[in-house]
Structure 1
Amino acid sequence: MSVTGVWVVGTVPDAKARDLSRAAVQNTSPAPVSVRRDLPGELAWWRGRARKSLFSASTTVPGTWVAGEDAFRLSAFFDACRDDSEHAEALRDAVMDQFPADADEGLFAAVARKAGPFSALAYALGPDAVLRLPGWFGDFLLDAEQVRAQLPAAEEALAPAAARRRDAVERIHAWMTGLGDDPDHDADQLLDGPLRVLRHAARTGQGAAGHIRWY
């Protein structure tokens, strides 16, 4: 059965973001217990391979990639970082209700067949940059003050220099074809879209949130 991965980032009214954040503190953990226990070891493993490609060029389909064993391990780690408890899913639903209805500056959504867009971005950026992003591996909820405070770190992570950006785009393409079925995924938008939303939230005094969904 085919699955579709989605990463949504959108603005949230500041007061509502604060209300939802209080509910999140009461009902959710920052990560599943098993992941918190294994995180230092998995991060050390990832850092040791962060500069290496986890994919090889396909010999049968030009322009696509084949995932190696380490790519599957990294994908499993990203999946395990996601809290799929009932409380977390209910919070995502509540946040989704606050997002703008139209895809303007305040909303970004990345969709991919058989692959998680945030996982592709995380592989492209590397562990140190990913840990500078808000929240926990793609899931975050910030009020307006927190958006302003965390925007510089997000800009540093999501706006790499030209050479690093070219490498990031290639790595996103490798993930989307080696683990997914989305050779035409817009890698530039995956880098630019979330930062556009965070900057818009900072300019307009709003909160912001992001979350991963699978359908």
Structure 2
Amino acid sequence: MGFTSAWAISSHADEAVADLAPRLLPAMRADRAHPDAGRRWAAWQREPLPDHRTWYSLDGGDGDAWGAIESFQAFTAPGRHVDAVCDGSTDPSFHVLDDVWEGQDEDGMFVSVHRKEYAVSSLFHALGPARAALLPGWCGTFLFSAAQVRESLPLVERALTFTPTERASVEDRDWLDYAEGEESVLDGPLRVWRAAVRQGLGLCGVAVHLC
């Protein structure tokens, strides 16, 4: 069955962040607190996955390897609670397209939309567990005030700044296909983080199913 997913980071004044908090923060916390979430994260931290190009050539009887892949895909996919809030299932008067992303200009937003793929999954696989652990929030979801964005920038820079050799390696592990001119998951988040710090804005990161 096909699906389309999006991961977006949008910039907002602190007043807008405060308005979004009662809707989004409980859902983000619920997804992070799910018993399977921590277990799956810890398993990936202990044993990173092999090159993604080998996944579909694995012996069908290798249940442990497939189990690790499915576990990784499960915790890096959009969370059930955030999905429900963002698509209007929790409250039909609220939708991420209208109430979070509407009116964003190009400089203040990063968005990665893919069919049958999850941007956060590809980013985390490309970075590996150590760098992914530096990123604030939980698997691409967060709601930060301007002060929190400023305080967390050094961690984001450590996670997403690469030497030429490192850059080649992470690009090789990023399995997403990009249209010409489309921004990579390796570039967009840091660009938006730095822009928000310069402008004194907060940030909202959400990963959702669009359909």
1:94 to partner: Cα distance:
5.2
Match of 2:153 in 1: 151
Question: What TM-score, normalized by structure 2, do the two folds share?
Answer: 0.77
1:79 matched to which residue of 2?
77
SS of residue in 2 equivalent to 1:30 = helix
Look up the match of 1:193.
Answer: 188
Question: Aligned pair in 2 of structure 1 residues 76, 57: CA closer, same or farther (>3 Å)?
Answer: closer
- One-letter amino acid matched to 2:69: A
CA pair 108-36 structure 1, distance change in 2 beyond 3 A: same
For 1:199 and 1:116, locate their aligned partners in 2 and report how far apart those are by CA, in whole Å.
24
- Give the alignment partner of residue 204 of structure 2, picking from 188, 198, 209: 209
SS of the aligned residue for 2:111 comes to: strand
| Letter matched to residue 30 of structure 2 | A
Q: Quick one: distance in 1 between partners of 2:113 and 2:158?
A: 24
Q: Report SS of the residue matched to 2:9.
A: strand
Aligned partner of 2:31: which letter? P
Residues 100 and 106 in structure 1, CA contact (< 8 A), matched pair in contact too: no
Q: Which residue of 1 aligns with 2:61?
A: none
CA distance in 1, matches of 2:82, 2:99: 18
Q: Which amino acid aligns with 1:140?
A: F
Whether contact under 8 Å (1:12, 1:99) holds in the other structure is no
Identity of aligned residues (%): 29
The residue that corresponds to 1:64 in the other structure is none
Pairwise CA RMSD: 3.2
Opposite residue 194 of structure 1, the aligned amino acid is: P
1:65 — aligned with what? none
Q: Give matches, 1:123-142, under 5 Å.
A: 123-142=125-144
**Counterpart of 2:119?**
117
Give yes or no for contact 2:52–2:173 (8 Å, CA) kept in 1: no
Query: TM-score w.r.t. structure 1 length?
Result: 0.75
CA gap 1:183/1:12 in 2 versus in 1, 3 angstroms:
closer
Distance 2:84 2:39 in 1: 28
CA positional deviation for 1:43: 2.7
CA–CA distance in structure 1, aligned partners of residues 87 and 6 of structure 2: 14
Tell me the distance in 2 between the aligned counterparts of 1:184 and 1:45. 33
Query: 2:77–2:120: 8 Å Cα contact kept in structure 1?
Result: no
Kindly provide the CA deviation profile for residues 5-26 of structure 1, in whole angstroms up to 9, marking residues without a partner as x: 211111112211123224444x
Aligned to 2:27: 28
**Equivalent in the alignment of 2:8:** 8
Residue 146 of structure 1, CA deviation: 0.8
Structure 2: 5+ residue stretches without partners: 58-64
Return the letter of the residue paired with 1:116.
Y
Q: CA deviation at 1:49?
A: 2.6
Conserved? CA contact 1:17–1:141, under 8 Å: yes
In the TM superposition, residue 132 of structure 1 has moved relative to its aligned partner by 2.0
SS at structure 1 position matched to 2:106: coil
